[in-house]
Amino acid sequence: MIDVGAKADTARVARASGSISMTRDTFDAIRENRMGKGDVLAVARIAGIMATKRTSELIPLCHPVALSVVTVDFELDPDLPGVRVTTAASTVGKTGVEMEALTAASLALLTLYDMAKAMDRAMTIGEICLLEKSGGKSGDWTRG
Protein backbone atom coordinates (compact mmCIF):
# COMPACT_ATOMS: atom_id res chain seq x y z
CA MET A 1 0.00 0.00 0.00
CA ILE A 2 1.36 3.42 -0.91
CA ASP A 3 2.08 5.81 1.98
CA VAL A 4 -0.22 8.82 1.56
CA GLY A 5 0.38 10.18 5.07
CA ALA A 6 2.38 13.22 3.95
CA LYS A 7 -0.01 14.16 1.14
CA ALA A 8 -2.28 17.17 1.58
CA ASP A 9 -6.03 16.76 1.79
CA THR A 10 -7.59 18.06 -1.42
CA ALA A 11 -11.01 17.89 -3.04
CA ARG A 12 -11.14 14.86 -5.32
CA VAL A 13 -13.81 13.83 -7.79
CA ALA A 14 -13.99 10.98 -10.29
CA ARG A 15 -16.62 9.96 -12.86
CA ALA A 16 -16.90 6.58 -14.57
CA SER A 17 -19.29 4.93 -16.99
CA GLY A 18 -20.26 1.60 -18.49
CA SER A 19 -23.07 -0.12 -20.35
CA ILE A 20 -25.03 -3.33 -20.60
CA SER A 21 -26.64 -4.45 -23.84
CA MET A 22 -29.61 -6.81 -23.97
CA THR A 23 -32.49 -8.01 -26.08
CA ARG A 24 -35.26 -5.57 -26.97
CA ASP A 25 -37.71 -7.57 -24.80
CA THR A 26 -35.45 -7.26 -21.77
CA PHE A 27 -34.90 -3.55 -22.43
CA ASP A 28 -38.66 -3.00 -22.64
CA ALA A 29 -39.26 -4.95 -19.41
CA ILE A 30 -36.71 -2.80 -17.55
CA ARG A 31 -38.07 0.42 -19.05
CA GLU A 32 -41.63 -0.54 -18.12
CA ASN A 33 -40.61 -1.84 -14.66
CA ARG A 34 -41.94 -5.35 -15.41
CA MET A 35 -39.04 -7.43 -14.07
CA GLY A 36 -39.96 -10.13 -11.55
CA LYS A 37 -37.30 -9.07 -9.04
CA GLY A 38 -38.64 -5.52 -8.82
CA ASP A 39 -37.36 -2.07 -9.76
CA VAL A 40 -34.11 -3.02 -11.47
CA LEU A 41 -32.71 0.50 -11.76
CA ALA A 42 -33.44 1.42 -8.13
CA VAL A 43 -31.75 -1.73 -6.83
CA ALA A 44 -28.77 -1.27 -9.17
CA ARG A 45 -28.37 2.33 -7.97
CA ILE A 46 -28.24 1.20 -4.33
CA ALA A 47 -25.78 -1.59 -5.25
CA GLY A 48 -23.48 0.93 -6.93
CA ILE A 49 -23.56 3.26 -3.95
CA MET A 50 -22.97 0.41 -1.50
CA ALA A 51 -20.07 -0.86 -3.63
CA THR A 52 -18.20 2.44 -3.34
CA LYS A 53 -18.23 2.09 0.43
CA ARG A 54 -16.60 -1.36 0.17
CA THR A 55 -14.03 -0.63 -2.54
CA SER A 56 -11.05 -0.93 -0.20
CA GLU A 57 -12.29 -4.38 0.89
CA LEU A 58 -12.69 -5.57 -2.70
CA ILE A 59 -9.53 -4.23 -4.35
CA PRO A 60 -6.20 -5.21 -2.77
CA LEU A 61 -4.04 -2.33 -1.50
CA CYS A 62 -6.80 0.25 -2.13
CA HIS A 63 -7.06 2.87 0.62
CA PRO A 64 -10.36 3.29 2.49
CA VAL A 65 -11.88 6.64 1.56
CA ALA A 66 -14.40 8.76 3.46
CA LEU A 67 -16.79 9.62 0.65
CA SER A 68 -18.62 12.94 0.53
CA VAL A 69 -21.11 11.99 -2.19
CA VAL A 70 -21.77 9.19 -4.66
CA THR A 71 -24.14 9.32 -7.61
CA VAL A 72 -25.26 6.51 -9.90
CA ASP A 73 -27.30 7.60 -12.91
CA PHE A 74 -28.85 5.51 -15.69
CA GLU A 75 -29.75 6.23 -19.29
CA LEU A 76 -32.01 3.79 -21.09
CA ASP A 77 -30.56 3.62 -24.60
CA PRO A 78 -32.90 2.05 -27.19
CA ASP A 79 -30.08 2.05 -29.76
CA LEU A 80 -28.05 -0.55 -27.79
CA PRO A 81 -30.65 -1.69 -26.69
CA GLY A 82 -29.56 -1.45 -23.10
CA VAL A 83 -28.62 0.74 -20.17
CA ARG A 84 -25.73 3.15 -19.74
CA VAL A 85 -24.56 4.02 -16.25
CA THR A 86 -22.59 7.07 -15.15
CA THR A 87 -21.20 7.26 -11.64
CA ALA A 88 -19.43 9.91 -9.62
CA ALA A 89 -17.63 9.85 -6.30
CA SER A 90 -16.09 12.69 -4.34
CA THR A 91 -14.15 13.24 -1.15
CA VAL A 92 -11.73 15.59 0.50
CA GLY A 93 -8.71 13.48 1.30
CA LYS A 94 -5.23 12.24 0.53
CA THR A 95 -6.09 9.79 -2.24
CA GLY A 96 -8.37 9.78 -5.26
CA VAL A 97 -11.75 8.17 -5.81
CA GLU A 98 -11.25 6.72 -9.29
CA MET A 99 -11.56 3.15 -8.03
CA GLU A 100 -14.73 4.01 -6.13
CA ALA A 101 -16.39 5.46 -9.24
CA LEU A 102 -15.31 2.46 -11.34
CA THR A 103 -16.49 0.01 -8.66
CA ALA A 104 -19.88 1.74 -8.54
CA ALA A 105 -20.27 1.40 -12.32
CA SER A 106 -19.19 -2.24 -12.29
CA LEU A 107 -21.49 -3.32 -9.47
CA ALA A 108 -24.46 -1.37 -10.80
CA LEU A 109 -24.06 -3.18 -14.13
CA LEU A 110 -23.59 -6.57 -12.48
CA THR A 111 -26.76 -5.96 -10.47
CA LEU A 112 -28.66 -5.11 -13.65
CA TYR A 113 -27.44 -8.41 -15.09
CA ASP A 114 -28.44 -10.35 -11.99
CA MET A 115 -31.91 -8.89 -11.87
CA ALA A 116 -32.61 -9.50 -15.57
CA LYS A 117 -30.75 -12.77 -16.19
CA ALA A 118 -33.91 -14.89 -15.91
CA MET A 119 -35.11 -13.13 -19.05
CA ASP A 120 -31.81 -12.71 -20.93
CA ARG A 121 -28.59 -14.57 -20.08
CA ALA A 122 -26.87 -13.20 -23.20
CA MET A 123 -26.59 -9.63 -21.88
CA THR A 124 -23.16 -8.08 -22.37
CA ILE A 125 -21.47 -5.70 -19.94
CA GLY A 126 -18.90 -3.44 -21.49
CA GLU A 127 -17.22 -0.09 -21.93
CA ILE A 128 -16.46 0.40 -18.22
CA CYS A 129 -14.04 3.31 -18.06
CA LEU A 130 -12.92 6.34 -16.13
CA LEU A 131 -14.36 9.50 -17.69
CA GLU A 132 -12.53 12.08 -15.62
CA LYS A 133 -10.83 12.78 -12.32
CA SER A 134 -9.82 15.93 -10.55
CA GLY A 135 -7.75 16.84 -7.54
CA GLY A 136 -4.54 15.62 -6.03
CA LYS A 137 -0.89 15.92 -6.99
CA SER A 138 -1.39 14.53 -10.51
CA GLY A 139 -4.07 17.14 -11.27
CA ASP A 140 -7.04 16.83 -13.55
CA TRP A 141 -7.57 14.23 -16.27
CA THR A 142 -10.36 13.83 -18.82
CA ARG A 143 -10.88 10.99 -21.29
CA GLY A 144 -10.01 12.28 -24.78
Active site (annotated) includes residue 79: no
Q: Which residue in the list 77, 114, 120, 140 is annotated as catalytic?
A: 114
Residue 78: C-alpha distances to residues 30, 85, 118, 126 (Å)? 11, 14, 20, 16
Largest alpha-carbon pair distance within the chain?
A: 54
Cβ neighbour number for residue 129 with a 10 Å cutoff: 12
Residue 39: C-alpha distances to residues 8, 33, 69, 88, 114 (Å)? 42, 6, 23, 22, 12
Active site residues: 114
